[in-house]
Amino acid sequence: MTSTQVLVAVAAVVALIVVLAVALALRKRHTRTLADRFGPEYDRALETAGERAKAEAELDARTKRVEHLPIRPLTTTEHERFAGLWRSAQERFVDSPPAAVAEADQLVTEVMRVRGYPMTDFEQRAADLSVVHPQLVTNYRAAHAIAVNSAGQQASTEDLRQAMVHYRALFEELLGAPASEPELVAH
């Protein structure tokens, strides 16, 4: 082997090491970005998928899916209507906690529908929410589980109160600031 051949072989090995180091650094950065963005949902996806690559592919797929959804803010009229319905649900809690929680569950689902989230099954709604509201999706799952248990009369009043707290946090995020409605101009 000539010195030129040795030099080419060493350069190839060094180039391969550099490429691998860059790929590893990019992968670590992507992992850190997803973990920061999704918070506890990243850990849940990892636990569900069983391995990091599958979990991260799932979170990336969620992000791409939600980017193509027609999610929009509520109009002022919708905002006011939903805010009033929420106040009614909260007031109902005093006399009938199970009915109030069921109403809150339905109200959150309806706000999501009006905003443009697809209304497939609960897990898909939660996955879609995790992209935009990652800090609240764990509580949404907990509140929904309590609502389901409440329907079977297996939830305590404290559980129901906690569900309302979780629903309220998500509801307020989903309600957001209303989009301005076009002004009506008389001609």
Strand partners, 179: 75
Rounded to 5 degrees, φ, ψ at 75 are: -75, 170
Q: What is the C-alpha to C-alpha distance for residues 62 and 128, in angstroms, rounded to an integer?
A: 6
| Contact of 167 with 111, CB cutoff 8 Å | no
Per residue in 99-117, pLDDT (tens digit) is 999 999 999 999 999 999 9
pTM of the model: 0.76
Q: Indicate the domain borders of the chain.
A: 3-67, 76-175
pLDDT digits (tens, 9 = 90+) for 111-161: 999 999 988 889 999 999 999 888 889 999 999 999 988 877 788 999 999
